[in-house]
Structure formats: C-alpha cells, structure tokens
C-alpha cells in the first residue's frame, strides 16, 4: 500500500458495504447494523477524504479492504475508541498496542466482545467473519486522519431559513409549548415534535444524522438540536407549525449544543462542541452565524502529555456567570468559557479527570456533575467559584445522561448516575450547607438490573427513580426499566416491561431508552427503539401507579431514541 495518499470510498467498497455492512448474514436471517450503542453509532466521517499513512509492520490489506474497514470503523467504532484511536469510553487501538496482540487475538476480541462493554460483533450477527478479519488487520495500521474544519467551511453550510425580522412576534399556535417533547428519530436524520398533552405528532423536522441532544434557549422559544454529523438546527416553537429557522454544520462529528442563560445574555449566543475537529464554536443566538472557533487540543490533566484529539463532550450554560461549561473528553479538562466579550475571550481551565462525557446540574444548579467515564469518577465543578469541588469514585463507566436529583430520606439532596460497566447506581450527596458530612461523597450504591445503563431520571414531584439498561445484552433487561421508591430504596426495584407494553408487531430489538418526565411530573415517557425497518414506539407510564398510560405509534416514528421535554430541559429539571 502506498504511503502519503488520500483514501476515498471506491465503488467496490461501497458495494461491499451494501452487501456485507448494512446487513450481516446469520444463516438465513438478516440482522441490522448495531443500534444499541450511542457511543459507537455511525459517524459521518466514514465518507470523508482522509490522509492515510502506511505502517510497514501492519498486516497486508488491499485498497478495497482498507476502504471497507475504514467505513466500518467510523460507523461502529470511532465513537468509543476515537477518530485517531487514542481511546475514550473504549480502549486505545493504536498500532503499538494492536500489533503486539496480533490478528488472531484481535479477531476473537472483535467477534466475541467483552463484559466491559465491547460488543460481540460477529456472534451477534452484526459483522461477518470476513469483516471481523478485515477489522483485525485494519486496526494494526496507522489511523487515517480526517481534514480540519474552518470558519470558512462552516459559513458554506450556514443557512438562515427564516430571518429574525420575518419570524412571529408572538406565539402563533395553540400548543402547550412547555409540554412538547423533542424525540430523536435517529436513523432518518429528524426529530419528532410530540404534543405532550394530546400525544400527537406536531411535526417531523429535518435535522442532522442521529441527533444526540435537544436543548432550549433561555426564553424557551428556540429548540436547538445537534446531530452526530455536527449539524445544528434551530427550531422556532412560536411558528404555526414549529420548524427550522436556521442551520449550520460546525464540524465533521459532534455531540453537544447549548445557549447562553445568564441574566442579560439570554438567547444571545449558542455554542456547539465538536468531536472532529476537536474544537467548540460560538454562534449568534438568533441566526447561528459562526463567530468564534476555539481548539481544544492540548495536554492531558494527569500525565501532561499532548493529545491530538480532545473531543468536546457535554456543554452547559452557567446560571451564575456569563459562562459556558465545556467538558473536554480526552484531556480531562473542564473549561469555563466567559462569553461576556467573545473578542477578548477568557477561559478558566479546571483540571478534573480524563474521559469526561455527560452530566447535569445538582438541584441547586451550582454544581455541575460530570462523568469521567473511563476513569470511573464523577467530577463536581463549582460554577459559582469556578473550581473543582470534588472528584468522586463511583462504579464502572458512569453514564448518567443528565443524572437524577432527589431528596434522600437520610442524606438529603443527592444526584444519581447509572453505569455502562456494572449493575450499580451511585448516589452522591450535593448539599454542603445542610448536609456537609455527605456532600460530594458516594453515600449509597443501589443494585440495578444490570450493566449497560444509559439514562437515569427523577422529578421534584415524583417519588420514583427510573433507570434504563438498553445496552445490556439480555433482552429482558434491555427491553425493561427498573423503578425505585425514593422513600424506600432498600426494598429494591420494580421492573416495568416497557417493550411488552408497546405491543409491537415484529421481532425488532425493542431497546427501551431514556426515561423523560412531562412538565407536570406525573408521566414518564420511554422510547422503544428498534431497527430502521422495524416498528418502534413511545410508551407513556403513569408515574403514580406505574401502569401503562399510552402508546404512541406512527410509521414516521423510525428509530426513536432520546427525547427531551421542553420545560424540563429549559429549566434543568431531572
């Protein structure tokens, strides 16, 4: 294989992927490509032109094999292991490591997976034996490098669909906006806006691929969503039929977006963080015009080693200062970005722990609780003082989503996280004023159904705590949720068979994901997530009785995953 060459997908490679990658044959049964793993989901980088470096110690591959493997890697592996394979949620896969293991060892690992969360790609039917062999050789080669993405590149994608002066001056619809749900339709590149009162779909809005999160402007008027392909869409909820008013692509892959919340800066700015290139972009809050790009490349917080791919994970807006809280995954740094003057940007760098991922505010909205997932820690960042309050050891690979806040009978206010790597739920005290002896310590550990948890949720008006397990390999666990009585946690959990309640007509995966309360706090919504060619649904549960209340089905509800209630998202209620 030649060195210093650009790699493009050839017709042969694309044909190979259509035949072998979109579906993998297991006997006579076709199995769709994996839908369970938010981290390892398809990446838009699969089709980007990249620089490829030859490694003489790597096993031989044809150009067609390399092209196929590159596409598979970015569709299924890059989210966990990184674009440059330096590791994050998944372990590093650089040639100095993989070549010492050898092709045969790597084939077994890829085929059968591991209890720590590595999927069993071959035995699940999602990769063929041939593909596993190709991937085992591919990861022993140097990682191809994607191109950078500049302000000029962003402006080429920027569209103001409805200028601010042509937008409504008052709400033009009869919807209860605060109880609308924004539901990701992962594989169609859309979000469904669902009326929480009537359970009817208001509109299906075109967005980027696999929308990761939805966030609200401070005013609650604008909904911002960001896809894995780094496309940001701005949706005006005041329109007669809420729809896009602006859009932009801020990179090649991304996960996070938010808007300015501090008094006097409401709705003024939006910010998006990219996985590739590793950077964040500050935009005009009315139009998404890109104003400033800041790279996050730098040295790790522990060994002070340079890292070329520190991806931007979660971003939230501070309620105490005109600051964005930007969490950088690979270097383990939380950046307090002062947006009061973006021409003289001030950034406070707080060393936390490596592999930062998702998180949420405690109930006071002063402390941001962020998971350093592969470090098995939660970092509590004080947004008022601008410093690290504590690093708390928890279970294996914490993944809280935004976490859950509730009042514990003994420990007072606590924030909770589930874990990808074990069956526990960690409770952390968050009240240094009235409960200082418990503050920022793991005060209790609940036993859950199993590993593979992604989201946990409660509500100030609820006495229940809900935890999903969509990535657990046992269908009984991935298709149900555990519910705890906050006032009697010692009795364990009740299992709700959400997928069974959905009454779906086919044999799809039916993974149950992301509990989300309505504004009133008396309903909990769940996505029942099957493949693109299978029926999916949204299930609504009565929080008081834990009984089925409604099932939302529609041919347009294709691969529903995350969903976000407008009021709760706007006000950080979880």
The alpha carbon of 175 is separated from its chain's Cα centroid by a whole number of angstroms, namely: 28
Quick one: DSSP state of residue 19?
I
Separation of alpha carbons 349 and 367, rounded Å: 16
SS3 content of the chain, % helix, strand, coil (to 5): 20, 35, 45
C-beta of residue 192 within 8 angstroms of C-beta of residue 556: yes
Which candidate, 113, 114, 13, places its Cα nearest to that of 62?
A: 13
Between β-strands 298-299 and 290-295, what pairing exists: parallel, antiparallel or unpaired?
unpaired
132 by DSSP, 3-state: which? helix
Which candidate, 369, 372, 376, places its Cα nearest to that of 402?
A: 369
Contacts (Cβ under 8 Å, ≥6 apart) of 363: 405, 413, 415, 430
The alpha carbon of 517 is separated from its chain's Cα centroid by a whole number of angstroms, namely: 19
Catalytic status, residue 357 = yes
Alpha helices in 77-193 (DSSP H): 78-81, 95-101, 103-112, 129-138, 151-157
List the catalytic residue out of 17, 77, 154, 239.
77
Spell out a b/e string for 206-242, using b for 16 or more CB atoms within 10 Å of the CB, else e.
Answer: ebbbbbbbbbbbbebbbbbbbbbbbbbbbbbbbbeeb
* CB neighbours of residue 533 within 10 Å: 13
List the catalytic residue out of 81, 307, 419, 459.
81
C-beta of residue 243 within 8 angstroms of C-beta of residue 236: yes
Catalytic status, residue 81 = yes
Which candidate, 559, 515, 474, places its Cα nearest to that of 124?
A: 474
Separation of alpha carbons 335 and 348, rounded Å: 6
Cis peptide leading into residue 375 (ω within 30°): no
List the catalytic residue out of 80, 135, 239, 336.
80
List the catalytic residue out of 141, 212, 307, 357.
357
List the catalytic residue out of 17, 50, 118, 336.
118
Catalytic status, residue 77 = yes
Output the six-digit token pair for 214.
Answer: 């939805």
List the catalytic residue out of 399, 408, 419, 563.
399
- Enumerate the active-site residues: 77, 80-81, 118, 357, 399
């Amino acid at each position: 294989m030649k060195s210093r060459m650009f790699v493009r997908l050839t017709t042969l490679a694309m044909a190979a992927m259509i035949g072998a990658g979109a579906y993998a044959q297991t006997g006579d049964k076709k199995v769709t490509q994996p839908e369970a793993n938010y981290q390892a989901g398809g990446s838009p980088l699969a089709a980007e032109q990249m620089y490829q470096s030859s490694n003489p110690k790597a096993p031989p591959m044809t150009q067609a094999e390399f092209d196929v493997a590159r596409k598979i890697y970015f569709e299924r592996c890059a989210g966990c292991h990184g674009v440059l394979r330096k590791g994050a949620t998944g372990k590093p896969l650089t040639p100095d490591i993989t070549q010492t293991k050898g092709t045969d060892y790597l084939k077994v690992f890829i085929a059968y997976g591991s209890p720590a969360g590595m999927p069993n790609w071959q035995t699940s039917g999602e990769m063929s034996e041939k593909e596993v062999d190709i991937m085992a050789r591919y990861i022993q080669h140097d990682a191809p490098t994607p191109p950078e993405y500049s302000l000029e590149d962003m402006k080429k994608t920027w569209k103001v669909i409805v200028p601010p002066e042509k937008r409504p001056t008052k709400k033009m619809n009869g919807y209860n906006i605060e109880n609308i749900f924004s539901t990701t339709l992962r594989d169609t590149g859309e979000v469904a806006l669902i009326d929480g009162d009537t359970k009817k779909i208001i509109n299906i809005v075109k967005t980027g691929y696999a929308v990761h999160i939805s966030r609200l402007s401070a005013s609650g008027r604008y909904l911002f969503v960001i896809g894995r392909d780094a496309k940001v869409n701005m949706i005006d909820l005041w329109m007669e039929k809420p729809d896009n008013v602006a859009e932009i692509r801020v990179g090649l892959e991304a996960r996070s977006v938010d808007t300015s919340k501090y008094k006097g800066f409401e709705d003024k700015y939006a910010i998006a963080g990219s996985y590739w290139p590793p950077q964040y972009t500050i935009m005009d809050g009315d139009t998404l015009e890109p104003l400033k790009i800041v790279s996050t490349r730098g040295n790790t917080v522990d060994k002070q080693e340079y890292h070329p791919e520190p991806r931007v994970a979660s971003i939230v807006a501070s309620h105490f200062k005109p600051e964005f809280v930007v969490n950088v995954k690979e270097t383990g740094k939380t950046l307090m970005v002062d947006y009061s003057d973006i021409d003289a940007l001030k950034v406070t760098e707080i060393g936390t722990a490596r592999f930062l991922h998702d998180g949420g505010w405690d109930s006071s909205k002063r402390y941001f609780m962020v998971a350093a997932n592969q470090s098995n820690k939660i970092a509590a960042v004080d947004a008022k003082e601008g410093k690290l309050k504590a690093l708390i050891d928890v279970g294996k690979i914490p993944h809280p989503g935004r976490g859950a806040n509730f009042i514990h009978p003994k420990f007072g206010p606590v924030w909770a996280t589930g874990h990808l790597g074990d069956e526990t739920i960690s409770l952390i005290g968050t009240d240094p004023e009235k409960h200082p002896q418990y503050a920022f310590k793991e005060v209790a550990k609940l036993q859950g159904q199993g590993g593979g948890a992604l989201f946990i949720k409660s509500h100030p008006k609820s006495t229940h705590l809900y935890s999903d397990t969509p990535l657990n390999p046992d269908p009984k666990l991935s298709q149900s949720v555990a519910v705890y009585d906050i006032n009697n946690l010692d009795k364990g959990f009740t299992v709700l068979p959400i997928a069974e309640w959905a009454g779906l007509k086919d044999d799809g995966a039916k993974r149950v994901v992301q509990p989300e309360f309505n504004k009133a706090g008396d309903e909990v919504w769940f996505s029942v997530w099957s493949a693109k060619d299978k029926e999916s649904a949204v299930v609504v549960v009565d929080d008081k009785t834990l009984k089925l209340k409604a099932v939302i089905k529609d041919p347009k509800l294709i691969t529903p995953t995350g969903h976000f209630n407008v009021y709760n998202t706007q006000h950080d209620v979880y």
